[in-house]
Every structure is written in structure tokens, then in C-alpha cells.
Amino acid sequence: MNVQERFLKYVSFTTTSDESSESCPSTKQQLELGNFLVKELESIGLSQVKIDENGYVYGLLPATAGRENDTPIGFISHMDTSPDFSGEDPKPQIIEDYDGNDVLLKGTGAMLKVDDFPTLKWLKGRTLITTDGTTLLGADDKAGIAEIMTAMEELAEADRHAESRGYENLSGHGDIWVCFTPDEEIGRGADRLDLSYFKAKYAYTVDGGYEGDIAYENFNAASATFKIHGKGVHPGEAKGIMKNASLMAAEIAMALPENETPATTEGREGFYHLTEIQGDVSEATLHYIIRDHDQTRFEDRQKFLKEIAEKYNEQFGGTPFASVKDNRAGGTVVELQLKHSYSNMLQIIEKTPDVLMRARTAIESVGVSAVSDPVRGGTDGAKLSFMGLPCPNLGTGGYGYHGPFEHVTVEGMETVVRIIKRIAETRG
């Protein structure tokens, strides 16, 4: 089965994850794909194949003769799709010899526009796969699964071919572990990956965009919640008494820098992102995420929010650090809750230069330019790196994730298959 056939088979499984669920995996549909992948890993000849009680799928392609002492490495992709948009029953559009122009998504009449996705210009002449506009496609990250699985099948076939003819596989490879995880899209993909079973020294997540990308910098991240406690009273007798929590929340929101939001920043520039606002007269809540690549600036952002909370708590008549038991008696009006989410993996990857050199060499060996852009988000690789498994990310050749404009090319996926094989075959 080639990478295109695999990809189209995998996207036929609905695997949307669910942040409100406390189970692992968060949705049973992910287990259906997981069980399918177990059978496929077994059929192509991997060993130690299993799906555990949490829905993580594992397999090992054992080292070839003479390569048993090579560094064991791994490749990881996730099975779930984003809950940001429907993933139910996707209907892929396959466009051969794509002409580089806007694409009609036939299910809705929407247009996949070159103006919105300038990278489409690079894809002219390829076989482009899009959605029909009614769902997301699922390339995030079933393209990664298809690429890993196809690379493992081709490597395993080469091993069998050499063995059957009684000669040494001149390429060969060390131990190669694979893992397909649930719930990456809701931030839990790395949480229960069993590193005592997955015995790689370092690994690569295969997830993301341009097929020559090797990403090893991500945001430092935290969440912040302002809770504003007002005082409600009938508006007819409110003078001097009412404290409108929603109005206070609006004032706090406007106190943050307007040019430091996701819509006004790029590259390594950090931001404050208001993700949700709720409230009435008595109670209001502001939910933020905080991001920055630089650790010092990241800490400064959190300090700034603490100063905002202290300033407005005093301005609105609260008592700093008081208990919120009776606001009428002058308790805390503005509370701030900060929670760390993840850290920049750069500090870990810098200590393991082989993992980057191996990937860059492999990417360039297949005629693709290696690019290392900072990730404006987080990855499972970041969490895994801090868990003791250095794990940068390889692009899959997909774009426009988490919505109806998601797209990928067959040629991009085929290139990633070759990159994975070259990484595996590199001696180390």
C-alpha cells in the first residue's frame, strides 16, 4: 500500500478528541483507528506491537545485522483530529497536476485561496488533496501516520529481501520504535507515552507543515485566568453600591498591550491571547494564554499580569491578598490564577546535537532544503523532551490545519517517507 492509499484509508476514521472527557483516549473512535494500526504494524513485520489500555500504539522494527549497537531512535504521530472543526465523514478532493490557482471546495462552495495560503504556489504540478469544505481533512496528523507506516513497510521489506538472498543489507538500520498517540490535539498526547517500553534514545514527532521542516523551538506557555468579583444590586438604587464585574473585566482586558496579540505578532514574538470572556454584574472571568519563546520575556509577561491584578484589585476597592469571602467587607475583587503549560524544548535539544544533524542531513540528501522555523505553539515533542526523550518535529507536507482549508500533497508525503528512511539508515 502506498502513502496516498494509506492516508485516504486513515482519514476515513473519525477520531476527533474531546477536551471535556476525562478518559484516555478521550473518544472511543481513536481506539478503532489504533486497533487497525496494530494489525497493519503486525502485517508489515514489526515486533513488540501492542495497543495499551490508554490507546497508545507501539511497534519496533528491530536492528539489522551489524547495526544492533546503533542508537535506537523513534518516530511518533498522533491519531486524533482537532475538535476545532468537524472531522465526521470527510470527503477528500484529489486534484492531480494542480494548476496553482484557487480551489473550489465542492461541499460548501468555499474557495481555498492562494491569497490566504501563499504556499499553494509551491505545490503547482503536484497531486493536491483537500477537503470538500464540510469537514477538516485529517492530515493533522494522519499524514504523519501514513508516512511513518509506509517508511517502516519499505524498510522491513528491504530487510526481508536481503535476508532471503543471504546477503547483508548494505543500508540497514538500528532499532526503530514507532508510537501513535491519542489526544495530542487537546494537549495530552505525550502524557501517558510509556518510555520504559518505547526504548528510543531520541525521537521525532512527524506532524506539521513543510516537508523539509525540522522544528526544535516552541513557545514557553502558561494559562492565566482573571476572576473579577463584583457587587450586584437593583440598578434603580445602584449609585455608590454597584460594582459591575463585566465592566471591570473589560477595563482589565483593555490594559493589556494591543500590539501583543496573536493577530499582531509573528516568528519569535510572544503574545497575550484572550481566549474567552464570560460575565455578568456579579462575576466575570477572563481566560488568557501567554506565549513567548524567550524564557526571560515569558517570566516578565507573567509578572506583568500579576501587577495588573494587584493594580486593579486596589483600584476597584479590594484588599490585596484578602480572602474572597465577603466582597462587601473589602475582600479581593480581582483574582489571578496562573498555570504553567509547557516549556521551550530548545534547552533540551541543544544538549543533543545528533538528533538535529541526523535530520538535517537526511532532509538535504533527498534534495529538499532543511528549514528550522520556531513553532508558534507547542508539540508533544516539547513535553517528551522534558520527560527525557529529546524529540524535535518533522513536517509532513500538510497545511491549513484545524479547519476546512486543510490540504496536503502526495509528493510532499512521499518526500517525508524518504526522509524518515534516510534518518533511520544513518549510522549513529
Active site residues: 80, 184
Cell of 126: 503536484
Give the whole-angstrom CA distance, residue 346 versus residue 342.
12
The SS3 assignment for 168 reads: coil
Helix (H) or strand (E) holding 30: helix 29-43
Q: What b/e sequence results for 23-41 when a residue is b if at least 16 CB atoms lie within 10 Å of its CB, and e otherwise? A: ebbbbebbbebbebbbebb
Give the whole-angstrom CA distance, residue 75 versus residue 51.
16
Give the whole-angstrom CA distance, residue 130 versus residue 111.
11
Give the whole-angstrom CA distance, residue 422 versus residue 79.
24
Cell of 28: 472511543
* Residue with grid cell 486596589, as numbered in its chain: 314
Give the whole-angstrom CA distance, residue 154 versus residue 169.
13
Cell of 81: 483530529
Q: Concatenated DSSP letters for 173-221?
A: ---EEEEEES-GGGT-TTTT--TTTS--SEEEEE-SS-TTBEE--B-EE
The SS3 assignment for 166 reads: coil
Query: Roughly how many angstroms between the first and final C-alpha of the chain, as a whole number?
Result: 30
The answer for residues whose C-beta is within 8 angstroms of residue 353's C-beta and 6 or more apart is none
- Answer for the pair 152, 42: CB distance below 8 angstroms, yes or no: no
